[in-house]
Amino acid sequence: MPDREKLKQQADIVSKQLEEHPDLPLEKRQALEKLVADLNFQLQMEPGAQSPSIADDFNKAAIEFESSHPGLAGAFRNIVTTLGSMGI
């Protein structure tokens, strides 16, 4: 599966998991929704034009949610891995 499709699927998984965690504080939920929206926006850009900071942002989110929401953290780490394989 091409990396772009894989990232789209992973972004969809994160969105679904956010729906399954209504206990997330509103501020954190909005930040994560923005992060997913940023990823979806970057997927529309030409290869090589994506910002490498998106991987850092997902990595920080993975660390932050590792203990409280390990499923989300795992999804974030999958995104970081896929971004890395794309050179982002």
Residue pLDDT tens, the chain, 88 long: 688 888 889 989 989 988 888 888 999 899 999 999 988 888 887 766 667 788 999 999 999 999 988 989 999 999 999 988 887 7
Output the pTM of the full model.
0.84
Amino acid code (one letter) for 66: E
Q: How many domains does the chain have?
A: 1
60, 56, 87: which is closest to 72 by C-alpha? 60
Question: CA 75 to CA 82: how far, in whole Å?
Answer: 11
- State which residues form the domain around 55: 3-85
